[in-house]
Structure 1
Amino acid sequence: MATNTAALAEISTIVFDSLRPAALAEFYRTVLGGQITHSDDDYAALDADAVQLAFPRTEDYQAPAWPGGTKQMHLDLKVADLDAAEKELLDLGATKPAFQPGGGDWVVLADPEGHLFCISS
């Protein structure tokens, strides 16, 4: 059994490389709520209450490959109704990759710039 230890650090911000920072911040504001605290062509920031998200413009950004390839991390989001949330997220501009390993327990989606995230209830 693991025991609690003093933290060396705490997460302050999750940063997403982006081609369109303002649009990506707005997507996540719609999904997570919160307030966009900065938004221009080069950088956007979202205060989503429990977490800060930042979106710097990255000229050579390439979306992660799924499955395999360059995928390095993803967000897991808990939703009240999996089917309803999936539909709403797709309507907001998310996409659903063909490969879905969750067996119906979760759904893998990609934001409008290809960053992967999973939803589950």
Structure 2
Amino acid sequence: MPPRMKLTAITLDCSDPEALAAFYRQATGLELHPKSNSAFAGLNGDDGLLLGFQRVARYQAPSWPDQAVPQQLHLDFAVDNLEEAEALLLELGAAKPGHQPGGERWRVLTDPAGHPFCLTKRAV
């Protein structure tokens, strides 16, 4: 039987951990980890999951959908209203790439460090 594992953290590379943590904190309402600093910042989820942001020298943002600098991962967030969530996130500093493969089913945005993430309509 394989070992039982619990996912405890997801960490994104970036050039400015505190700024990226602030973006995701405003977007999600998660609490800032008390030991956050300029090298590593984190947000605490209610279920114990830490969303982390670590400083990387010479960080290069993904160039999604072009793979010249490939995305390493992407996050998906369920929202009640796609239009409202998109507008808020754009106001917070997200960007909306021209390529939108989800049509009206989901939206692709990029965070201020260039990581793509998706918004999907919350299942009722």
Q: Same fold (TM over 0.5)?
A: yes
Shift of 1:62: 1.0
Whether 1:34 aligns to 2:30 is yes
Q: How far apart in 1 are the matches of 2:29 and 2:15?
A: 22
1:57 aligns with 55
Shift of 1:66: 1.1
Q: How far apart in 2 are the matches of 1:110 and 1:120?
A: 14
Q: How far apart in 2 are the matches of 1:7 and 1:30?
A: 36
Q: How far apart in 2 are the matches of 1:11 and 1:39?
A: 20
TM-score of the superposition, structure 2-length normalised?
0.87
**Letter matched to residue 66 of structure 1:** W
SS of the residue corresponding to residue 29 of structure 1 reads helix
| Alignment RMSD (CA, Å) | 1.5
Uncovered stretches (5+) of structure 1, i.e. residues with no partner = none
TM-score of the superposition, structure 1-length normalised?
0.89
Shift of 1:60: 1.9
Runs of 4+ in 1 over 4 A off after TM superposition: none
* CA contact 1:42–1:56 (8 Å) conserved in 2: yes
Uncovered stretches (5+) of structure 2, i.e. residues with no partner = none
Aligned length: 117
